[in-house]
Each structure stands twice: as structure tokens, then as C-alpha cells.
Amino acid sequence: MEAIAVNGISIPREAVLAEMQYHPARDAETAMHSASQALVVRELMLQRAEALGLDRTAEGVLDQLIAMEVRLPAADDSACRRYFDANRSRFRSPALYEARHILIPAAPDEEQEREAARAKAVELIGHLETSSEAFAELAAAHSACSSKSSGGHLGQFASGTTVPEFETFLENLEPGQLSPVPVPTRYGYHVLQLVARAPGRDLPFEAVRERIADYLADSVFRNAVRQYVSVLAAGADIEGITYDAASSPLVQ
């Protein structure tokens, strides 16, 4: 790692190593680069604060600097409405499911155990295809889930609250339909039946206006600060690292 300096002010290697804990990455080199970028951004802003007569050691000095120098237009109703109209699919209430299952457990890395669990689930599905009223009885006898005491019923739950494999099958079953094949998850194999489904509903603009405003305000803030730091970097002498505005984390 090359020595890093901003306008002649060195950033010690020890500081970079300490900062790395806040930048998890696929490898140490990537984490070190992100940490170095973050410290360069911080030093650029602290130097600018000092040039404006602010105390660089004061708590909240970077927030004070941003308030002084970065203009942040508010997200008005028209901007929120435009975002809402362009992203309608994001603003729906979740679908609701009611289902029941029988879990035949198997560890994800035990091939023989999983094959035996799958075979057992296939057997149970075959039984239920001719005797659907036996679901509760079979759940009580074979399921490894606590729901076996209530006939395998999982109750009502929203989309996004269960494992993706489960939800994929639920979305493609008709109410009352038994899955024709076992559903594999990391827990084992499931005999699954969709009892009922209530599709999600489009939410009105009024219900999501504040959420959109918060999102747009955060987006505007990040872009404005990134542009501000890029201007500071363009006029600075940065050694030991190439400042990358697109990948630099913002100072929180």
C-alpha cells in the first residue's frame, strides 16, 4: 500500500486498517481501497471546513460544512408524483398467502439424507392426491415443523417473509392446489398446499408520498455531496490513490 496524502497531510496506514472494519468486501484489497477512499473524502472535507474557519475537531463539523456549502432542493409534490408514476410496480401492498405443509427434514449438504427426504415427500404427495383429507394426519405423523400440531397450517403470511423457493411455488399454485412435486429448501423437502391467496393491491399516491419524499431527499443528498467532494478533489493534491467519485463512500 502506497503512502496516502491529501494536500500534504498524510493518512497513516494504521488509520486505513482501522477504517477497514466499516467496509466489508469480498477481499482485503477491496476493503482497503474503500477505506482509503473514505478517509480521503473525510480529509478533503475537514480541510475545507478548516479553510472556512470551522474547528475540524468539533463534533458534527462535516454536517455543518454540508449545511453551509451544499444546496439541497426539496422533493416537492410534482417530483414525488413523477417518481410514483414511473415506478408504480414498487408501490403495491404485498400478496398474502395461507398455506399448509409437511416438512421432511434434511441438511443441505447431506445428499443421501436429502434424497431420502425427497422420496418420502413424493410418497406423501402420492397419498394426498388420492386422499386429500389426510393432510392433517400425515402432517402430525411426519412433519418436523411445529405446525404439525395444527394440521400443517402456517397461517397467513405476506410475500417476502418466507424463503424464495417456497414463495415461487405458492405464486404458481391455485388456491386449494397441492404442489405436484416436493419443494426443496435448505431445511429439507416440503409437501406444500396453497389454501388461499390474496393478491397485492396498488397503493394510492397519498399512502406512499412521504416514503417517496424521503427516498428522493436521500438520493439528492448523496448526489449533491458526491459532486461537492468531486469538486474538492479536483482542486486537491492527492497522493497514493486515485480518487474515484463513483465508488467513494460518503461520509456519514
Do residues 240 and 5 touch, judged by C-beta distance below 8 A?
yes
Q: Which residue has the cell 493534491?
A: 237
The pLDDT tens digits of the residues spanning 20-57 come to: 999 998 899 999 999 999 999 999 999 999 999 999 99
The grid cell for 128 is: 394426498
The pLDDT tens digits of the residues spanning 142-183 come to: 999 999 999 999 999 998 888 888 889 998 999 999 999 999
Higher-pLDDT residue of 244 and 224 is: 224
Give CA separation, 18 vs 11, 13, 33, 227, 241, in Å: 12, 9, 13, 27, 18
* Pairing, β 96-105 against β 153-158: antiparallel
Question: Is the pLDDT reported for residue 134 higher than 70?
Answer: yes
Longest dimension (CA), the chain: 82
Kindly report the backbone phi and psi dihedral angles of residue 12, in degrees, each rounded to the nearest multiple of 5, phi listed first. -65, 150
In this prediction, residue 220 has a pLDDT band, given cuts at 50, 70 and 90, of confident
Domains of the chain (ranges; CATH) run 4-86+206-239 (no CATH), 96-198 (3.10.50.40)
The pLDDT, as a whole number, for residue 74 is: 77
